[in-house]
Amino acid sequence: MFDRFQNSRNALGLIFMLPAALLLLLFLTYPLGLGVWLGFTDAKVGRPGEWIGFENYVFIATDSVTQLALFNTLFYTTIASVLKFFLGLWLALLLNRNLRFKSFFRAVILLPYIVPTALSAIAFWWLFDAQFSIISWVLVKLGIIDTYIDFLGSPWNARFSVIAANVWRGVPFVAITLLAGLQTISPSYYEASAIDGATPWQQFRYVTLPLLTPIIAVVMTFSVLFTFTDFQLIYVITRGGPLNATHLMATLSFQRAISGGALGEGAAISIAMVPFLLAAIMFSYFGLQRRVWQQGGGDK
């Protein structure tokens, strides 16, 4: 019995995995569990809550600010992810060419990603400032506009401004990951397809895109998750304003729970994000990631 145990690779694997699994369990499930629990209570800062069932969820479902935050989050995530995808793909394709100073450009493109979010958010805050914005200044100097743009003053301006900041910050991750993906595609596929008569566009359509799909699925899943749960950029640039127009679920949750003291309600808003995140993961996992052609040999 002991012998068999010793010889079993599975048992050994289990033993090696145990510490990591325990740690994960502890650090992942504890906060999540606490959040779920808080969502069902009327806890306030400094006061342990009592079980109130679905009351918080019923409230946020009818609360117009939460509804607006959900709309903002979906809008922000959709537009920003689409932009990040196309910009990232375009940059990756560009960097995959044999440019001069290739490694220099590859390093430069990572810069937005390296700068701490809070710092870049402050930079954007200045860029978008109503009086000192350099963007407005340049446009006025060029004679394209006469008055400074109030980037963060009106709801739609503010929404697009924070999206711009998020895209700027998120594109490097997408671009570099897709570039890595592009480099795994053997040049012989391009040669073979050139001989087969494909134009560059057809090569992109029939070779690059399908071979890149698995990586696109992974990177866009992460991108969507990060964007959906974004907090820092918004918190520094707009604090959710004006008129809650840029409040995301995460910032609203923080505002209600910490600033407003309503821990239970804040937790409920956070937990309400989970189904959306799960849906995104499921979509990418079942819809995009593993294709038959990637699976190993053997008969079907």
Partner 1 sequence: MASVTIQGVKKKFGATDILHGVDIDIADGTFTVLVGPSGCGKSTLLRMIAGLEEITGGEIRIGDKRVNDLPPKERDIAMVFQNYALYPHMTVRDNMAFALMLAKQDKATIDAKVARAAEILALGALLDRYPRQLSGGQRQRVAMGRAIVRDPQVFLFDEPLSNLDAKLRVAMRSEIKELHQRLKTTSIYVTHDQIEAMTMGDKIVVMRDGRIEQTGSPLELYDHPANQFVAGFIGSPSMNFLPGILRRSADGLRVELADGTQLDAPPQSSGVDGQPVIFGTRPEHLTLVPEGAAHGGIPSRVVVMEPSGMDTFVACRHEGVELSAVFRERHDFAPGSTIHLQPDMKTAHLFSVDTGQRLAA
Binding site for partner 1 (CB under 8 A): 186, 188-189, 191-198, 202, 206-207, 210-211, 291-300
- Least distance (Å) from partner 1 to the CB of residue 297? 6
Closer CB to partner 1, 157 or 193, in the complex: 193
- Least distance (Å) from partner 1 to the CB of residue 296? 6
Closer CB to partner 1, 78 or 203, in the complex: 203
- Least distance (Å) from partner 1 to the CB of residue 282? 23
- Least distance (Å) from partner 1 to the CB of residue 182? 15
- Least distance (Å) from partner 1 to the CB of residue 82? 24
- Least distance (Å) from partner 1 to the CB of residue 175? 23
Closer CB to partner 1, 62 or 184, in the complex: 184
Closer CB to partner 1, 212 or 237, in the complex: 212
Q: What is the DSSP string of the chain?
A: -HHHHHH-HHHHHHHHHHHHHHHHIIIIIHHHHHHHHHHTB--BTTB---B-TTHHHHHHHH-HHHHHHHHHHHHHHHHHHHHHHHHHHHHHHHHHS--TTHHHHHHHHHHHHHS-HHHHHHHHHHHT-TTT-HHHHHHHHTTS-SS---TTTSHHHHHHHHHHHHHHHHHHHHHHHHHHHHHTS-HHHHHHHHHHT--HHHHIIIIIHHHHHHHHHHHHHHHHHHHHT--HHHHHHTTT-STTTT--HHHHHHIIIIIS--HHHHHHHHHHHHHHHHHHHHIIIIIII--GGGS-SS--
Closer CB to partner 1, 67 or 199, in the complex: 199
Closer CB to partner 1, 50 or 191, in the complex: 191
